Every structure is written in structure tokens, then in C-alpha cells.
Amino acid sequence: MEILPSQSVQRKVARGVAWVGMASALVAICDLVSLALILRYWATVDDYGTASAVMTMLGAACLLGEAGLPASIVQREHGSPEHLSSAFWFGLVVGVTLYAVVWVTAPLIARAFDAPILTQVSRAAGLMLVLRPFYTTHQAMLRRQLRFKELSVVRVIANLGELATKVGTAVAGMGLWCFVIGPLVREAIYAIGVPLSAGWRPGWVFRPRELVADFRFGLRATGGELAYQLYSNFDYQVVAYSYGLTALGYYRAAYELVLEPVRFVSGVVTTVAFPAFSRLRADRASLVDQLVAFTRQNLAVVLLFVAVIVVTADDVLRLVYGADFVIAAGAARILAIVGALRAMSFLGPPLLDGVGRSDLSLRYQLIAASVLASVFVLATHVGSSSNAIAAAWAIGYPIPFAILARMVLGQLGITAKAYFRRIARLALIPAAGAGCGLLARLAVADASPGVRFVVAGGVVIAVTVAGLVVFEGYSPAAIAKRLRA
């Protein structure tokens, strides 16, 4: 496998961030537009809550099926076609096996939530477990080679396919099924497009013994990601079980409006981060510089978004989903503040995995899972609505975040003061934008929701973008330059 010098890796990383960023922006727009249209005109909040009870569990199941092999392919040096073929076939066997488990246990899931339709929903949505292995090995190969342009093109096409399918099936009156069929179409497009981009076909070779070393590394790395999937989706299950599927529909609408865009924006960087940190692991100075660069890129977008939501949450929910969803404004504001911490924390596990300390990454994720799961359950005994679960995020998440920060900075040999000094000015710019936006909103408090949003949100964006351009050098020209690099 080619070993690139640090400057060459950083140029590829910059180009990768630009391409993934462009793709993520289009994907986020597609998701927001489709969800807003569907919930406004063709599906009910009950439909959304019912589908969410199943769809939010599949991320963890898919990771379990990968058994850590994609992470190992990205981090380790692989050149044997037989080895990669064995990884491909192993993933497919596990995916089919897990789908059989879903098929058998689907009635139990339906009984737990007292919703018989969940048997059919679980069995249909579970097909993702069979589709995903057809491209995960190829995707890992492309990530290892830092070929994010190809991955981004496929991602855009796949999500446009999902958008068309979700809206089309919703218009056809299929209700909650649009939330199931759309993601299946997306996975099917990935299963075709990613292998074509990689230009590699698995051979008829299956040697599980060759994968032992990959399991040892990959399961530690994926174990952490699995714990993340469990705790970041456990709140959905708690809301559904404690407050009902309708409450889950409202809660997830707020979550999708806030933390999903944060995850998408952070995914721009974290998609590139793991292979980049893996390539730079022998150069600690470059690792520090790259972590700071990634952090600044995350915060530049996420804090702007968080500022807009904090100032205009009720107006945004009314305009995007309808007046009924204003009830979720409190949860949206709380989750937005949590989103700022999550944007930073998303960089920790890729760095720890990239430098070969997946044990620390796993430890952090297990701590986060334990703390947050406990806080979520306790919140149901204190609060009478899903807002209690949003508050639990704000109370519980700073604990694992502080532990992760200590782990990461300890590996890099720098102090928290030195790290935060390099990002502090950038973080203050959106705060100033939020302050100006709040004053603007108070000035037009009696106007219509649309006017309030345009005025207040416009002020937040204008002040923040102007500050980023003037003080931090961010501009459309700089982004275009990276795309051409």
C-alpha cells in the first residue's frame, strides 16, 4: 500500500473534506425537504414514530454485521485480493444471518411496543442487513485510498434516489412505508455504485483464518462505534416505550432538525478523519495540526447552525413541519446546545483508532453508553414528556466528552489550554451572531413566523459568515479551490 508524505496526505484530506462537504450538504437538503413535505402533506406523526421505532435500531445491527472488518481495511496495510475477498464473503454471510434473526424476532419487537404493524416493518427494513455487505468492503478500500470524490458522487445519487422514492411512495398514500422503502432504495444504489467506483470484484475465496488479526483490531474499533449507535439511538426507544410512538414522532422531528444535521456536518470531517489520522500517525505535529483543522471546520458550520436553531427553533419547526410540531421547540433548543459538544467529540474516536488506540476509543464509547443510558432512564421518572430526554442529553453528555478530551489530548501530548486557544476565536463568532439574532427577533416579535425566521435567522447567518470570512479566512473561493486541488 502506498505510503504518502504528510503534506501529500493533507492535500488529499483537504480535497476529500471539500467533496464530502458538498455531498453532505446536498444529502442534508434532500433529507430535510423530503421529511418536511411528507410530514406536512402525506404522512402523520404516528407514521413517523412507528417507522422510527424500527429504523433507529438498524444502525447498530448493520455495524454488528460488519464485525469491524471495514475499519481494519482502512487502518491496516492490505494488498491481497484473497484477503479482501474473504472479508467480503464473511460480511455477506453475517448479514444474511442477522436478517434471519430479525425475521424471527420481529413479532417480539411488535409486542414490546404494542404495535402489530412493527412485525412487517421490521422484516422489510431488515433487508438493509443483506444489502449493505455488497458494498462495505469496497467502501473501505476507497476510504483507504482517500478517494472521497467517487464516494461522494455515489452518495449524492443514492440519496436523490431515496428522496424520489420517499416522496413518491408518500404521495401514493403508503404512509409509514415511505420511511422504510426510501432507505432500502438508497442502500440498493450504494450496493451498485460503490463497487463500480472501486473497480474490484471479490474472488471465490473464503479463508476466515486470514481475518483473525482484522477482528482483533476491527472489533475494538467497531465495538466503540456499536456502543455509540446504541446510546445515540437508545433515547428513541426510551421515548417510544415511556411516552408512546406519537411522542417519538415529535421527539425525532426535533432531533432530525438539530442533531442529524450536526451528525451530517461532522460526518463531512469524520469520513475523512480516520484514514487521514491513520496515514499521519507517525507524525505527531501533523496529527495535532490536522485535529485542529478538522475541529475548526466542524465548528465553523455546526455553531452557525446551532445559533440559528437556538434563536428560531419554534419558527423553524412551524415552517418546516407545521404548527403541531412547535411543541418540540424546547427539545430542539436543548439538543442544539448539545450538538456543539458532539461536533467536537466526533473527532476523538477516529483519531484514537487512527493511531492504533482503539482500546481507548472503545472505553470512551462504553462510558458514554453507560452514562447516557442511565440518565435517559432516570429522566423518565422525573419528566412527563420527551423534553426530559433532551434535558438528559445536556446533563449527561458533558461527562463522557470531558473523558474523551483527556484521552485525545493525552495521546497528542498537548494541553487543553493549548488546544482550545487555537479554536476559541472561531467559536466566539457564532455566539456573537446568536446574540445579534436574538436582538433582531425581539425587534420583530409581533411579526409572522416567516418574517421572524427570515429576520432573526438572516442576522445570525450574516453576522457569523461575515466574521468567518473576515477573521478566519473562510470563503466560497477557498472551498472551490479545494475542490479543484
Cβ 266 vs Cβ 302: under 8 Å: yes
Cα–Cα nearest to 433, from 388, 470, 392, 481? 470
Q: Does residue 356 belong to any structural domain of this protein?
A: yes
Burial string for 386-415 (b: 16+ CB within 10 Å, else e) reads bbbbbbbbeebbeebbebbbebbbebbebe
Task: Give the model's pLDDT for residue 103.
Answer: 95
Q: Across 369-475, where does the E strand assignment appear?
A: none
396, 371 contact by CB (below 8 A): yes
Q: What is the pTM of this model?
A: 0.74
Q: How many domains does the chain have?
A: 1
Determine the Cα–Cα distance for residues 357 and 352; give it in Å rounded to an integer.
Answer: 5
Q: Walk along the chain (485 residues) and give the pLDDT tens digit of each residue.
A: 444 455 555 565 556 555 666 666 677 777 778 888 898 889 888 999 999 888 888 888 888 777 777 777 776 655 677 778 888 898 899 899 999 999 999 999 899 888 899 999 999 999 999 999 999 888 888 877 777 778 888 888 898 899 999 999 999 999 899 999 999 999 999 999 999 998 888 888 887 777 777 777 666 667 777 787 888 888 888 998 888 888 898 888 877 777 666 666 666 666 677 777 877 888 888 888 888 888 888 788 788 888 888 899 889 888 888 888 888 888 888 888 888 788 788 888 888 888 888 788 888 988 999 999 999 999 998 877 888 888 999 999 999 999 999 999 999 888 988 888 888 888 889 889 999 999 999 999 999 989 999 999 999 999 998 988 888 777 656 555 544 44
Residue 258 domain flag: yes
| Cα separation, 228 vs 253, whole angstroms | 20
According to the model, what pLDDT value does residue 485 have?
46
In a domain, 2, yes or no: no
CA distances from 28 to 121, 268, 446 (A): 25, 11, 31
Domain for residue 1, yes or no? no
Residue 406 placed within a domain: yes
DSSP state letters, 243-267: H-HHHHHHHHHHHHHHHHHHHHHHH
**Helices 284-320 and 424-443, axial angle in degrees (round to 10):** 10
Cα separation, 91 vs 136, in Å, equals 8
Q: Is residue 433 part of a domain?
A: yes
User: What amino acid occupies position 286?
Assistant: S
Within a domain: 223: yes
Contact 49, 118 (CB under 8 A): no
In sign, the C-alpha dihedral spanning 208, 210, 216, 222 is negative
Domain that holds residue 108: 8-484
DSSP 347: T
Angle at 483 between CA 284 and CA 345, to 5 degrees: 45
Cell (9 digits) for 182: 426510501
| Cα(391)–Cα(477) distance, integer angstroms | 40
Cα–Cα distance for residue pair 335/250, rounded to 1 Å: 14
Altogether, the residues listed in the chain come to a count of 485
* 197 lies in some domain: yes
Burial label, 244 (beta-carbon count in 10 A; 0-12, 13-18, 19+): middle
Diameter over CA atoms, the chain: 69
